[in-house]
Chains A and B, each alone.
Chain A
Amino acid sequence: MTPTFAGQLINLLAALLLLIAFAMLSQRRVLSLIYLFAWQGFVLVLSTTLVAYSTGQHHLYYSAALTLILKVFALPWILHRLIIRLNIKWDVETLINIPTTMLLGIVLVIFAFNLALPISQLASTVTKNTLGIAMACVLLAFLMMITRRKAVPQVIGFLAIENGLFFAATSATYGMPMVVEFGVALDVLVGTFIFGIFFFQIRETFDSLDIHHLEKLKED
Chain B
Amino acid sequence: MDSLSAIAANVQPLHFVLGVMVAWLILGGLGLVAQHSLDFVGHGLFPASAVASLVLAGAGLAALGAPSQAMILALGLPDLPFHVRLDALSAFFLVLLGGASAGISIYSAGYFRQGEGTPPGVHCVLYQVFLAAMAAVIIADDAYMFMVAWETMALSSYFLVTSNHKIPAIRSAGFLYLLLAHIGAIGILLCFGIMQGGHGDYTFATMRAAPLTEFWASAAFLLALFGFGAKAGVLPMHAWLPEAHPAAPTPVSALMSGVMLKTAIYGLLRVTFDLLQIQLPWWGVLALVLGLMTALFGVMFAAVQTDMKRLLAYSSIENIGIILAGFGLTLIFHTYNAGPLAALALAATLYHCINHAFFKSLLFLVTGTVLHSTNTRSLGKLGGLIRHMPWVAWLGLIGTIAIAGLPPLNGFVSEWLLLQAFLATPGLPSSYLSMLVPVGAAAFVLAAALAGYVMVKFYGVIFLGQPREEKLARAHDATWLERIGLVWLAAGCVVLGVVPVFVLGQLDHVNAMLTGHLLGQQVGGAGWLFVSAMAPERASYSPLLFLLGVLAALGATFALVRKLYHGRMRRGPAWDCGFPLQTARMQDTAEGFGQPIKQIFEPVFRIDRHMPSPFDELPRYEGKAEDKLWYALYLPVARAVEWISASISILQSGRIHIYLLYSFVTLLVLLIFVR
Are B667 and A142 closer than 8 Å at their CB atoms?
Answer: yes
Please report whether the interface of chain B is mostly helix, strand, loop or mixed according to DSSP: helix
Are A95 and B675 closer than 8 Å at their CB atoms?
Answer: no
Complex CA gap A13/B674 in Å reads 27
**B436 in the interface, Cβ–Cβ < 8 Å?**
no
**A122 in the interface, Cβ–Cβ < 8 Å?**
no
Of A39-47, A164-172, A207-215, the segment with at least 4 beta carbons within 8 Å of chain B is A207-215
- Chain B hits for A154, CB < 8 A: 656, 660
**B652 in the interface, Cβ–Cβ < 8 Å?**
yes
**A50 in the interface, Cβ–Cβ < 8 Å?**
no
Q: A142-B667, A146-B664 are in contact. Are A115 and B675 (CB under 8 A)?
A: yes
**A75 in the interface, Cβ–Cβ < 8 Å?**
no
Interface residues of A in 119-154 (CB under 8 A from B): 139, 142-143, 145-147, 149, 154
Chain B residues with a Cβ closer than 8 Å to the other chain, count: 16
Contact of A146 among B652, B660, B671, B672 (CB under 8 A): B660
Q: A118-B675, A218-B652 are in contact. Are A111 and B657 (CB under 8 A)?
A: no
Report B673 CB to chain A, min CB distance, Å: 11
Residue of B nearest to A215 (CB): B654
Are A146 and B653 closer than 8 Å at their CB atoms?
Answer: no
Please report whether the interface of chain A is mostly helix, strand, loop or mixed according to DSSP: helix
Complex CA gap A205/B661 in Å reads 25
Residue of B nearest to A154 (CB): B656
Are A146 and B675 closer than 8 Å at their CB atoms?
Answer: no
Are B664 and A211 closer than 8 Å at their CB atoms?
Answer: no
- Chain A hits for B675, CB < 8 A: 114-115, 118
**B655 in the interface, Cβ–Cβ < 8 Å?**
yes
Complex CA gap A95/B656 in Å reads 12
Are A212 and B655 closer than 8 Å at their CB atoms?
Answer: yes
**A89 in the interface, Cβ–Cβ < 8 Å?**
no
**B668 in the interface, Cβ–Cβ < 8 Å?**
yes
Are B654 and A217 closer than 8 Å at their CB atoms?
Answer: yes
Are A218 and B661 closer than 8 Å at their CB atoms?
Answer: no
Are A218 and B653 closer than 8 Å at their CB atoms?
Answer: yes
- Chain A hits for B660, CB < 8 A: 142, 145-146, 154
Interface residues of B in 635-672 (CB under 8 A from A): 652-657, 660-661, 663-664, 667-668, 671-672
- Chain B hits for A212, CB < 8 A: 655
Are A143 and B664 closer than 8 Å at their CB atoms?
Answer: yes
Report A47 CB to chain B, min CB distance, Å: 23
Are B654 and A218 closer than 8 Å at their CB atoms?
Answer: yes
Complex CA gap A203/B661 in Å reads 24
Complex CA gap A216/B656 in Å reads 12
Q: A118-B675, A142-B664, A142-B667 are in contact. Are A95 and B654 (CB under 8 A)?
A: no
- Chain A hits for B664, CB < 8 A: 139, 142-143, 146
Residue of A nearest to B649 (CB): A219
Contact of B654 among A115, A118, A216 (CB under 8 A): A216
Complex CA gap A145/B659 in Å reads 11
Report A150 CB to chain B, min CB distance, Å: 11
- Chain B hits for A145, CB < 8 A: 660
Are A146 and B668 closer than 8 Å at their CB atoms?
Answer: no
- Chain A hits for B655, CB < 8 A: 211-212, 214-215
Complex CA gap A114/B60 in Å reads 71
Q: A115-B675, A118-B675 are in contact. Are A211 and B667 (CB under 8 A)?
A: no
Complex CA gap A214/B664 in Å reads 20
User: Scoring A residues 70 to 99 as 1 if CB is less than 8 Å from chain B, else 0, what string do you get?
Assistant: 000000000000000000000000010000
Are A147 and B657 closer than 8 Å at their CB atoms?
Answer: yes
Are A215 and B667 closer than 8 Å at their CB atoms?
Answer: no
Residue of B nearest to A157 (CB): B660
Contact of A95 among B657, B668, B671 (CB under 8 A): B657
Are A146 and B657 closer than 8 Å at their CB atoms?
Answer: yes
- Chain A hits for B653, CB < 8 A: 215, 218
Report A101 CB to chain B, min CB distance, Å: 12
Residue of A nearest to B662 (CB): A146
User: Scoring A residues 96 to 122 as 1 if CB is less than 8 Å from chain B, else 0, what string do you get?
Assistant: 000000000000000100110010000
Complex CA gap A185/B653 in Å reads 32
Report B649 CB to chain A, min CB distance, Å: 9
Complex CA gap A215/B659 in Å reads 11
Are A115 and B656 closer than 8 Å at their CB atoms?
Answer: no
Complex CA gap A139/B667 in Å reads 9
Complex CA gap A214/B653 in Å reads 10
Are A211 and B656 closer than 8 Å at their CB atoms?
Answer: yes
Complex CA gap A115/B668 in Å reads 10
Report B552 CB to chain A, min CB distance, Å: 72
- Chain A hits for B667, CB < 8 A: 139, 142
- Chain B hits for A143, CB < 8 A: 664
Report A152 CB to chain B, min CB distance, Å: 13
Complex CA gap A146/B662 in Å reads 10
Complex CA gap A219/B653 in Å reads 10
Report A201 CB to chain B, min CB distance, Å: 15
Report A51 CB to chain B, min CB distance, Å: 24
Complex CA gap A218/B649 in Å reads 10
Report B674 CB to chain A, min CB distance, Å: 8
- Chain B hits for A139, CB < 8 A: 664, 667-668
- Chain A hits for B663, CB < 8 A: 142
Contact of B671 among A115, A149, A215 (CB under 8 A): A115
- Chain A hits for B656, CB < 8 A: 154, 211, 214
- Chain A hits for B657, CB < 8 A: 95, 146-147, 149
Complex CA gap A111/B665 in Å reads 13
Contact of B661 among A114, A115, A146 (CB under 8 A): A146
Residue of B nearest to A212 (CB): B655
Q: Which of B657, B664, B674, B675 has the most CB of A within 10 A?
A: B657
Residue of B nearest to A142 (CB): B664
- Chain B hits for A146, CB < 8 A: 657, 660-661, 664
Complex CA gap A154/B657 in Å reads 9
User: Scoring A residues 48 to 69 as 1 if CB is less than 8 Å from chain B, else 0, what string do you get?
Assistant: 0000000000000000000000
Are B661 and A214 closer than 8 Å at their CB atoms?
Answer: no
- Chain B hits for A216, CB < 8 A: 654
Contact of A214 among B654, B668, B671 (CB under 8 A): B654
Report B145 CB to chain A, min CB distance, Å: 36
Complex CA gap A52/B484 in Å reads 86
Residue of A nearest to B656 (CB): A211
Complex CA gap A40/B667 in Å reads 23
Report B446 CB to chain A, min CB distance, Å: 51
- Chain A hits for B654, CB < 8 A: 214-218
Residue of B nearest to A211 (CB): B656
Are B668 and A111 closer than 8 Å at their CB atoms?
Answer: yes
Complex CA gap A118/B663 in Å reads 24
Residue of A nearest to B674 (CB): A115
Complex CA gap A211/B655 in Å reads 8
Report A26 CB to chain B, min CB distance, Å: 18
Report B432 CB to chain A, min CB distance, Å: 55
- Chain A hits for B652, CB < 8 A: 218-219
Complex CA gap A146/B661 in Å reads 6
Complex CA gap A191/B592 in Å reads 72
Complex CA gap A217/B659 in Å reads 14
Report A39 CB to chain B, min CB distance, Å: 24
Residue of B nearest to A114 (CB): B675
Report A112 CB to chain B, min CB distance, Å: 8
List, sorted by A's number, 23 A–B pairs whose CB atoms are closer than 8 Å: A114-B675, A115-B671, A118-B675, A139-B664, A139-B667, A139-B668, A142-B660, A142-B663, A142-B664, A142-B667, A143-B664, A145-B660, A146-B660, A146-B664, A147-B657, A154-B656, A211-B655, A214-B655, A214-B656, A215-B653, A216-B654, A218-B653, A218-B654
The 8 closest A-B pairs by CB, nearest first: A218-B654, A215-B654, A146-B660, A211-B656, A146-B657, A142-B664, A145-B660, A146-B661
Chain B residues at the A interface, C-beta cutoff of 8 Å: 652-657, 660-661, 663-664, 667-668, 671-672, 674-675
6 other A-B residue contacts (CB within 8 Å) besides A115-B671, A145-B660, A217-B654:
A95-B657, A115-B672, A139-B668, A142-B664, A142-B667, A218-B653
